[in-house]
Each structure stands twice: as structure tokens, then as C-alpha cells.
Structure 1
Amino acid sequence: MNILISNDDGIMAPGISILKSFLEKDHNVFVVAPDVERSATGHAITVRNPLWAKDVMVNNKLFGKAVNGTPADCVKLGLEAIHKDINIDLVISGINRGPNLGTDVLYSGTVSAAIEGAMNGYPSIAVSSADFTNPNYETAAKIILDIIEKFDFKTVPEFTTLNINVPSISYDEIKGIKITRQSKRRYDDYFEARKDPFGNTYYWMLGNVVEDDNNNNSDYLAVNENYVSITPLTVFLTKKDYMKELKDILEVKYES
């Protein structure tokens, strides 16, 4: 397959390097990734500044293109400009350092890069090693190879991406794969006010993870139980089951 890969940790991050090394044994791999870390940028795109794509060489060999933009920029630029003459079969974003579970997907540059692929009509996946401190990228890469070998990505519905979170343990310890839903996992945030050397106030965001969604299909529960979590995500956010109630209360026609 022809595979475009990106991330939000930056083109020199170990996760994308390891992913590329595993994939390129059997596939054609094209890297377009941010020049520096762009974590938690969500689905931002650059519209008022130019984008540069510069060659990155590793051991005198082209590794990929580094872009001075967001993860979504990278995928958009890769598909629509840099590699527009290549028939890309799959877009992969990752391997991310740390999980993308619950409400993380709204902030995540990793997930947004994959969703950008889906918006452009390409099968796509986001993959994360679910540990910030000690991510096991090799296990996540092996899981991706397993999935690619057994799954036909042409069957993925339009405008859909697969959000994959892999426990940061050895491959032999993985219990299996579970298809999960996006959980209500979220953050109880607060801001700590501090003073700079000139007496000006600045704020540092801190917080704790809230995991109180104990449904068996929750993404974080699967990961906590050493299963790979795969959650299908769509680009559309309409809450369809609430539409009828709103129609009954709010839908009216104004007389001209």
C-alpha cells in the first residue's frame, strides 16, 4: 500500500520514526509531519500564513517532509499538494506519545490529522501509545501491522477514522482488541496563578483525569484492562437523538 503518515509530536519524534520503520518493510511510506511538536492543536489549519515543506534527511536518506504548520495542515498538504500524484491507500497519524481517549479527541492533533484524511475521502487511523511517561512504540507499531494485515480499509465508511489506543506494555501482554465507544473521560482543570520576575500574573493550567464512565464499551476501560481500544469516529458532531425534542420546543416559522 501507499501510506501517508503524520503526527503531532513532530517529525523527529520517536513514535513516527518507529512507525515508519515497521511499515516500510512491506509498504511505500510517505511522511509529512510538523517541524516541531504541535500537540493539543486540535483541527486548526493555517489560512493566513504560507506553509513550507522542507526535506528531512536521516542517515543521508530522505525521511520525509517537515511542515511549519499543524497536523491537519500536514495531511491536507500531503494529500492535496506534495503527494497529489500518488494514489494514497491509507493515512496514519502517530504513533502518539500518550493516550487519546474520551474528550482528548477534541484537542488532539494526532486524531485531527487522521480526521483530515477522512474528510478528504481517505481511509485513516490515529494510533497512540497510552502512556506519556514510558510509551511502548514497538508494541503499537506491531498492532498496526496486525490490523493492516487482517482488515480491508476500503470498507471504512466515508468521513470515518479509527482511533486506536494501545496499552504501553509488551506485545505479548496485549490481551486482544476491543471495539469501543468514545467515553466520557475528561479533565477537572484549574488554573494556578503565578508571577513572572516583573510582577505580571500568568496562569498555568493543571488538572486531574476524571474516569467515571464504567460502561464495558468505554475506551479507557479497555486500555486499562490491557486491550487495544479501537473507536470509530466521524467528522460530524450532530446529536441526532436530541433533534426531535428540539424541534418540538424551538422549531417555528417566522411570518414575513
Structure 2
Amino acid sequence: MLILISNDDGIQAPGINALRSALEHLGDVCVVAPDRPRSASGLGITIHKPLRVEEFEFSASNAKGYAVNGTPSDCVKLAIQALLPSKPDIVVSGINLGPNLGTDVLYSGTVSAALEGVINGVPSIAVSLASWESVDFDYAAKFAQKLVKVVLDKGLPDETLLNVNVPVLNDEKKPNRVAVTRLGKRRYENTFEKRRDPRGKDYYWMGGEVMDIMAEPGTDIASVKNGEISVTPLFFDVTDNNFMNMVREWNLDSILSDS
């Protein structure tokens, strides 16, 4: 079995190393990840400069590692199409420090790395630790290991990935349930602080707080808040099929005749 691992926190992040260590028990592992943090990079790819690849060694590990000066999507695309000796059996992205819930998935480099695997026809999983403070990735890594075995046994539909968020509970408790969820909705109340650099040029620093605007039962947001592991199947054909017939009724051909 050949397993491709990537992330958006960088190849030296503790989450990716915990994941690598857990998945090495299942087969051959290759890690291709950004050479530095590339969070919130979305599905961006690099087309206006060359991609540089440096071999990376992990202590006491047989896994191959490559650090890339690009985005998470670059890393997975490059790995599958140029670096690996054969197509991987699965792509696993993570373990991200911080949740990827609701509309976060549109910005997430972690989810985008998994999506790049889907685009290339490989079953893919994105895994996040739903905390900004904990650095104990062991439980999430063990869960990812077990989930990989299930996915390889059961398979995933085309164009579908699994987005996993593992909560961190107090008093060393472990989640006692895995909830299969749909996406909630989050919005960030962005605050742009205007500043001036030493040369007198204005610039803006973006901050903001997350607002959970749809976190009802059955959503990934609600499940993580309840201490459950959230597993959300994401299907990236974003066509609104229900609205298509209504748009057809607009008779858009008439716009051409009026021009």
C-alpha cells in the first residue's frame, strides 16, 4: 500500500509527523508537504514561479519526505504526477492544528490537499484537531489510522472526500461517538486594522472572530461542540441542480437577441 500524506501547516508540523508515524504501520508512506505554514491557502496552485523540491528526512523512519515551496494543492498534484513511483492508494491530509468546520472548508489548505487527491482520482481524507491549543495529536492520529483502513475496505464515491474533525476534551476524556455530519455555516466578522509601515505606506492587518450562524444538530459544528468526532462527506460538484431549471426559465437566449 502506498499512502501519500500532506498538510498546510508545513512538513515540520507536529500534526503531520503524528499522522506519518501512525500510518507507517499500514504501508509505505510518502510525505509531500509545504516547506512552511500555508494555512488558508485554499485550492491555490503555483503557475507563475518554479516549484522547488527538497528531500526531507524523518528521524527513525523509513518514510520518504519532500518539502515543496508551494501550496498544499501543489504538493499533492506534484506528488501524484511527478514524484511518486505509482499512484497512491489514498491521500491523507493533516493533522491540522485547529478545526476545519462549516464554510472553513472553502479556505482550508488541509481540505484542499485532500480535494487535490480527489481531482486526481485518489480516495482522500482531511483530518483536523479541533483545538488551537492542544499539541497532543496521538488520539487523532490513531483514529485516522483506523479510518484509513475502513476507507480502503469500503471505498469512496468519485469526487467525494471525508473531512474529519476530532475534538479535544477536558480531563483526558476521549470522544465516545463518531457523528456523520453535514456542513454547518460559519462567518468571520473580519476586522481590518489600518497600519503604516516604516516607509509611510499604508497596509491592512486582517483579524476577526468566528460566528457560527448555522450550528444545529446534525452539523459538524454542533457535533464537535458536543465532544463527538465529526466525519463529513464532501462532494465537490458545486452545481446547484435544483436551481438550473429555474435559470432555464429565464430564457437567457433573449439577451442575445436584444444586444
The aligned runs of 1:1-256 (5 Å cut-off) are 1-59=1-59, 63-83=64-84, 85-152=85-152, 155-169=155-169, 172-253=173-254, 254-255=256-257
Q: Deviations over 1:166-215 (max 9, x none)?
A: 11238852021111111112211121112233433221111111113132
Q: C-alpha separation between the residues in 2 aligned to 1:78 and 1:153?
A: 23
Residue 123 of structure 1: how far off its partner (Å)? 0.2
Residue 149 of structure 1: how far off its partner (Å)? 3.2
**Which sections of structure 2, spanning at least 5 residues, go unmatched?**
none
Q: C-alpha separation between the residues in 1 aligned to 2:215 and 2:95?
A: 27
Q: Deviations over 1:19-64 (max 9, x none)?
A: 0011102321111111111111111111122112111123376650
Q: CA distance change for structure 1 residues 41 and 151 in 2, over 3 Å: closer, same or farther?
A: closer
Code of the residue aligned with 1:36 in structure 2: it is R
TM-score (normalizing by structure 1): 0.92
Farther-moved stretch of structure 1 (65-74 vs 25-34): 25-34
TM-score (normalizing by structure 2): 0.91
Question: Do 1:139 and 1:169's aligned partners in 2 also have CA atoms closer than 8 Å?
Answer: no
Q: C-alpha separation between the residues in 2 aligned to 1:78 and 1:155?
A: 22
Q: C-alpha separation between the residues in 2 aligned to 1:127 and 1:214?
A: 20
Aligned residues: 255
Code of the residue aligned with 1:78 in structure 2: it is A
Residue 244 of structure 1: how far off its partner (Å)? 2.2
Q: C-alpha separation between the residues in 2 aligned to 1:72 and 1:153?
A: 26
Q: C-alpha separation between the residues in 2 aligned to 1:198 and 1:101?
A: 39
Q: C-alpha separation between the residues in 2 aligned to 1:14 and 1:236?
A: 33
